[in-house]
Amino acid sequence: MTVLSVNVNKVAVLRNSRGGSEPSVVAAAEAAIRAGAGGITVHPRPDQRHIRPGDVRDLAALVAGRVEYNLEGNPFAPPREGYPGLLALVAEARPQQATLVPDGDGQLTSDHGFDLARDAARLRPLVAELKSLGARVSLFMDAGAPDIERAADVGADRIELYTGPYAEAFAAGDASAALALCAETARRAQAVGLGVNAGHDLSQANLGAFLRGVPGVLEVSIGHALVGEALYAGLDATVKAYLQVIRTAG
């Protein structure tokens, strides 16, 4: 069954908005784990807009031996004041998975995957280093990426399908083309031995159709919609609702 990895970035947004320690990302992750989440995901960005290095350490201690820990980030982003770089964070936290995302500081959120024609040579040694640290490596990729197979060449274990365009099409009332593109991209990845994860703007409304339309998705990482929905229904009930969607999708 597809693993639900709960992304707690948005809990940190709320916490940072007042400068204190509440709401706690650790308490949120604990509640998600107790509700049945199979993983916790964070995306510590260099500008520390939400998840900070201290959160990465605290969550590593919380999830150890319980559920999978998925650390996201741009491996090309250099260290700076208060941000040691993705590889240093992985070396310290030793997550089960590192998901590489080519985001810059100027982006509101993740909105594209890697261009492997441009990035493959730079990625290959970084992927090898991350794997030497014991992490499974997943590359954030656009549905329809022309060279999805090159993700295997650079040593990645999985791709994460960027599902933002699918979610947008779903909300607009016709996701058939976007879903077909995701399914074809997943099939191409699986054909060269890559596992397939998925994430970005997935929600209770659009997740079931996605999983039914894209066979073999190993993990979905969901944060923005899930945390938003939890503001109304509670985190325990919301995580359980996602798990039911996943079970029902088969």
Binding site residue list = 7, 18, 45, 50, 109, 201, 223-224
Minimum distance from residue 81 beta carbon to ligand LD2JLWAY (Å):
25
Dump the DSSP string for 16-52.
HTTTSS-S-HHHHHHHHHHHT-SEEEE---TT-SS--
Amino acid identity of 153?
D
How far is 86 from 40, CA to CA, in rounded Å? 17
Dump the DSSP string for 153-177.
HTT-SEEEEE-HHHHHHHHHT--HH
Of 190, 236, 237, 186, the closest CA to residue 212 belongs to 186
Q: Is 195 in the site for ligand DXP (CB under 6 A)?
A: no
Q: Give me the catalytic one of 72, 160, 219, 229.
A: 72
Candidates 2, 5, 7, 138; binder of ligand DXP (CB under 6 A) is 7
Stretch 2-41 residues interacting with ligand LD2JLWAY (CB under 6 A): 7, 41
Stretch 154-173 residues interacting with ligand LD2JLWAY (CB under 6 A): 160
**Between 30 and 69, how does the x/- string for binding to ligand DXP read (CB under 6 A)?**
-------------x--------------------------
Does the annotation count 30 as an active-site position?
no
Minimum distance from residue 7 beta carbon to ligand DXP (Å):
5
CA distances from 188 to 47, 52, 55, 161, 195 (A): 35, 35, 36, 12, 10
Q: Give me the catalytic one of 68, 112, 200, 229.
A: 200
Bridge partners of 41?
7, 70
Which CB atom, from 188 or from 200, has the smaller least distance to ligand DXP?
Answer: 200
| E strands in the chain | 3-7, 39-42, 68-73, 97-100, 136-142, 158-162, 195-199, 217-222
Q: Rule CB under 6 A: which residues touch ligand DXP?
A: 7, 9, 43, 72, 101, 109-110, 140, 199-200, 221, 223
Residues annotated catalytic, as ranges: 43, 72, 200
Q: Rule CB under 6 A: which residues touch ligand LD2JLWAY?
A: 7, 41, 160, 199-202, 221-225
